[in-house]
Chains A and B, each alone.
Chain A
Amino acid sequence: MSDDAPKARPVRKIGRRQPLTAKAADAQDAMFSRASDDDGTHAVPAESVDIPHDPAQLDPREDKFAEWQVAACFIIAALSAVGFVVAYVMIDPRAAIGRDMNYALGGLFTTSLLAMGAGFVLWAKKLLPHDKMVQERHDFFSPEEEELATEETFLKGFREMGLGSRRVLRRSLLGAAALLPIPALVLLRDLGPLPHSRLRHTAWRRGSKLVDVESKLPIKIGDLEIGGIATVMPEGHEEPDENALSPTILIRFAPGEIKSKKEAAWGYHDHVAYSKICSHAGCPISLYEQQTHHLLCPCHQSTFDMADDANVIFGPAARRLPQLRISVDAEGYFVADGDYSQPVGPSFWERG
């Protein structure tokens, strides 16, 4: 133990210091008469480390009051626990679950927990001795001879194994250790299907009707107002969750608004269809500004100019949205001319 640490037992000084109450003195005596240990743990008076005593430790009336404060906290905690059960049974769950029930149960649960916590904290703060304990820290490293002996033991053991001198043994062991994990990796193979070309295709086929996801009806020419927009799925594959790459948006422009010749050619009479899956991180793009023809992805704010072949005008997306070539069948329904000509959605290594 270092010499500079305070180690005196409290000497009851005569002076301005107020004497402790009988209970506080008893607690202090118990603390100071603890048996020490191999860390040399011992108590030091609060004064020696600049810690004041609580008034409850100096005045018997304050002490009594503090004890009742702590008890009051514990009583509140107990009553709230009872209240919790009453609320659980009494409140009609069908009428009020998720609202009144949550407030009542949660409020009473909160009260009992906070009261319990406050009781413990007040107990420690007001009634337990404020004197401190000191103990030694030990070095975290071992004596040199100890370290050397352990190093020797380790190295000798290595020599016993003979790994240094037996070359065939060592090499065959390394070979086995390198190959043994491979079966474990092979076992992971069936975690999922191989991607093959799945990311390159969607459910769109030549002649697939464009079905509105809201109304579940195929869209006919004239169904969309000028400036209108619809999210569509290929007929027969209308469930977006099973065809996550297929969601497509159909936009109707006013005549002459489309700037790109290719865009107009792939569309039909000012109607164009583009993939709804963002070419950045794959979110379904949903914010269309009719005046500017900008389509904005709410996930990372990539913005595409839909009048200019979905050119990226802002944000982290690196590629235009792929366009779906459409036409109209004999009955006037919009149909796809085939699948997208390039993979839709976010980039991946094999995309090329």
Chain B
Amino acid sequence: MAGMGETAARQGLRYVDDRFGSAGFLRKSFNKVFPDHWSFLLGEIALYSFVILLLTGVYLTLFFHASTEVVTYNGSYAPLRGVQMTDAYASTLHMSFDVRGGLLMRQIHHWAAVLFVMSIAVHMMRVFFTGAFRKPRTINWHIGVTLFILATLEGFAGYSLPDDLLSGTGIRIAYSVMESIPVVGTYVAYFLFGSDFPSTSGDFIPRLFIIHVLLVPGILLALISAHMMIIWHQKHTDFPGPGKTEHNVIGSPFYPTFLIKTNGFLFLVFGVCAFLGAFAQINPVWLYGPYNASQVSAGSQPDWYIFFLEGSLRLMPNLESNFWGHTISWNIFIPGVILPGIMFNLLYAYPSLEAWLTKDKAFHNLLQRPRDTPIRTALGVMGITFYGILYLGGQNDVLANTFHWSLQSTTWVMRVLIIIGPVIAFYITKRWALGLRAKDEERLHHGEETGIIRRLPSGEYIEVHEPLPAQRAAILAYQLGHDLDEHAALPSGNGHGSGNGNGQAPGMARPVGALTRAREALEGFFFERHEPEAGPDDDPKTLTRP
């Protein structure tokens, strides 16, 4: 039997090779090594949620009517029978109550969307804090940021489709944000919606639908493919470890080990989404009722990834300018357009900014621990804190209501926190990372504590330290940025300190200008970590175990 199977497999491979000459490529692909670390699964969660979104989304399109035509509902959900509503909302009710498994697919789709954006965000944090975005992976970071933005837009477009009271409120606010853009805002809003708000012309829901099911998913699919192909081509990064260098990858072969593992992971992610879809209610549009321009419910809350925008709109002071017959609504334009613009552009620019400030032009395949780069880590936590306070600001009414705080003081506390919170977070994180590094330096030079107390002939008591195993010490020294040539386990070329300027074409030296001077002024900021720690080597009280 094995013989038959083998012959068939050989014939199949031969058939493909005769047409593509693919043998070498396929063997290299089967052999492709994937390093193992739990944090490398975060991106896979994002990938698999996208697969789940495509599968469940296609099912939902079989039942959803992208139409604002007004119909009278007469389906199974008794409380809304006889109510006038758009066909979009009626078909959402129909697929929830009259299609067996329809509600399940809708809820899995929504949970997978929540998971998709969240796993992208957490995956981005992993990439940021470990320095995986550094050369040569800068372009993949840019693709990743674009994916994050598109995923957010895609999610917003998706939950706005059912035309229920909650989604209509979100659309109303989006319309106002568009209107706030100076000069062209009114036209942007009118052209996108095809009319005044809400779209009685009937164009808006079909347009949103095609954006949600074709345009954005198409771009997402193309960019995700590019993201994966670049990873495949450049090979995955890895943490320093036994035998690992800048010039090799150690891990499981793609076929069969990684394939079986990742297949299992796909099913587990799908299983978790199915569990949530079955037992955790999400977006019960039938409770909100159809959209009505004269109504809104208290505690209207968007999906989590829109909270930061909601928060920035809520925390912004009420500024507005009127001049020469024109109005600029700073209270919407700044939090709704300028602020997200700055946030996402900083994300795009960060790899180049860091490389420029640290003059690091080297290639990096080994990852750093957050403590290895205290300033980067502190900047990252600063950004997360800023985002986090906006996120909380998006639910100031719910917080005030739950904890019986005054709504006004809650808002004012957050207005202050949004300014000082990130600064405090930066300082604490930096000190924390420097402290962890100091601890690592101590372990490197003194060894591990053993808990053994010994009394010296002089009567003095000391604790015996055990030196780290050579390999462990070499890895730690590498992580702390020491040049330790005597430890052969990890060769140099690691990019710590000396950038070797690979790929720099001749005659491209930069003239000294204002930018260079600015960089030199900022350099101290990034290189603070290279300040020498207290020299522990000459500590006479340290004994090592023979």
On A, residues with C-beta under 8 Å from B are 1-2, 4-6, 31, 34-39, 41, 44, 48-50, 88, 93-94, 97-98, 101-103, 105-107, 109-110, 113-114, 116-121, 123-124, 128-129, 132-137, 139-141, 147, 188, 191-195, 198-199, 213, 231, 233, 240-245, 247, 276, 280-287, 298-302, 312, 314-319, 345-352
Contacts and interface: CB of A to CB of B under 8 A. Distances in A.
A241 B200 contact: yes
Contacts of B265: 117, 120-121
Nearest to A120: B264
A169 B349 CA distance: 37
A137 B246 contact: yes
B38 to A, nearest CB: 13
A5 B318 contact: no
Given A5-B248, A137-B246, 16 more contacts: A93-B100, A97-B76, A97-B98, A102-B278, A114-B267, A120-B260, A133-B33, A134-B243, A199-B186, A233-B294, A281-B332, A314-B407, A316-B318, A346-B329, A347-B332, A350-B325
A132 B274 contact: no
A121 B100 CA distance: 31
Given A282-B176, A346-B180, A116 B267 contact: yes
Interface core residue of A35, A284, A347 (most chain B CB under 10 Å): A347
Contacts of B332: 280-281, 316, 346-347
Given A102-B103, A106-B277, A299-B173, A121 B502 contact: no
Contacts of A213: 294
Shortest Cβ-Cβ A-B pairs, 8 listed: A106-B278, A120-B264, A117-B267, A113-B271, A117-B268, A114-B271, A318-B320, A347-B329
B263 interface: yes
B249 A137 contact: yes
A50 B242 contact: yes
B111 to A, nearest CB: 11
B136 to A, nearest CB: 4
A124 B250 CA distance: 17
| From A41, A102, A316, residue with most partner B Cβ within 10 Å | A316
A121 B264 CA distance: 5
Contacts of A107: 278-279
Contacts of B243: 4-6, 44, 48-49, 134
Contact of A120 (B180, B267, B327, B503): B267
Nearest to A315: B318
Given A118-B268, A141-B502, A49 B169 contact: no
Interface in B333-364: 335, 363
Contacts of B297: 298
B180 A114 contact: no
Interface string B299-317: 1100000000010011111
A198 B193 CA distance: 14
Given A4-B491, A97-B100, A352-B326, A117 B271 contact: yes
Contacts of A348: 179-180, 185-186, 327, 329
Contacts of A312: 318
Nearest to B197: A244
A49 B327 contact: no
Contacts of A105: 100-101, 104, 278
Nearest to B266: A117
B81 interface: no
B247 A137 contact: yes
A233 B264 CA distance: 58
Q: A-side binding surface: helix, strand, loop or mixed?
A: loop
A140 B196 contact: no
Contacts of A102: 103-104, 107, 278
A290 B514 CA distance: 61
Nearest to B52: A113
A191 B175 contact: no
A145 to B, nearest CB: 12
B429 interface: no
B186 to A, nearest CB: 5
B195 interface: yes
Contact of A319 (B260, B320, B365): B320
Nearest to B323: A352
Nearest to A7: B243
Contact of A39 (B28, B76, B101, B198): B28
B98 A118 contact: no
Contacts of A276: 294
Contacts of B71: none
Contacts of A191: 191-192, 194, 203
Contacts of A4: 243, 245, 488-491
A4 B203 CA distance: 65
Given A1-B248, A135-B33, A283 B172 contact: yes
Contact of B176 (A129, A247, A281, A287): A281
Nearest to B253: A133
A241 B328 CA distance: 27
User: Looking at B181, B293, B505, which has the most chain A CB atoms within 10 Å of its CB?
Assistant: B293
B100 A2 contact: no
Nearest to B178: A348
B451 interface: no
Contacts of A134: 33, 243, 248-250
Given A37-B31, A114-B267, A123-B260, A318 B331 contact: yes
B40 interface: no
A92 to B, nearest CB: 10
A347 B294 contact: no
Contacts of B194: 191-193
Q: Could you say which of B24, B177, B185, B257 has the most chain A C-beta atoms within 10 Å of its C-beta? A: B257
Contacts of A300: 310, 313-314
A103 B294 CA distance: 36
Contacts of B295: 240, 284, 286
Contacts of B293: 240-241, 243-244, 247, 284
Interface in B249-290: 249-253, 256-257, 260-261, 263-272, 274-275, 277-279
Nearest to B136: A140
B291 interface: yes
Given A103-B279, A241-B291, A135 B248 contact: yes
B179 A346 contact: yes
Interface in B481-532: 488-491, 502-503, 505
A120 B242 CA distance: 28
Contact of A317 (B246, B264, B272, B331): B331
A129 B253 CA distance: 11
Contacts of A195: 186-187, 190
Interface in B28-68: 28, 31-33
B314 A37 contact: no
B229 interface: no
A164 to B, nearest CB: 20
Contacts of B328: 347, 349
